[in-house]
Amino acid sequence: MLDLLRGYFKKEFQLGNISLITGHLADIMVILEEEYIEDVALKNVAIDSVCKLLQEYKDQTVIKRVK
């Protein structure tokens, strides 16, 4: 998955951008573990919410052109 994501960036930005993305994801995972470790259902809902936020962030003009 990281190789696929890396391929979206220009070569000179690949390492730095992948490092930033994975670092931020690690931070999110730590927060979820600390807050939701006792309730897996809430942890799963929180992960779904983060995914939904990212889905909503997509550029809708690009999505419409691809369809």
- pTM for the structure as a whole: 0.66
Give the model's pLDDT for residue 63. 61
Residue 34 above 70 pLDDT?
yes
CA distance 7 to 15: 10
Helix ranges, 37-59 (H): 40-57
CA distance 7 to 51: 21
CA distance 53 to 67: 21
Residue 66 above 70 pLDDT?
no
Give the model's pLDDT for residue 49. 92
| Burial (0-12, 13-18, 19+ Cβ within 10 Å), 52 | exposed
Confidence of residue 26 (pLDDT cuts 50, 70, 90): very high
Give the model's pLDDT for residue 24. 93
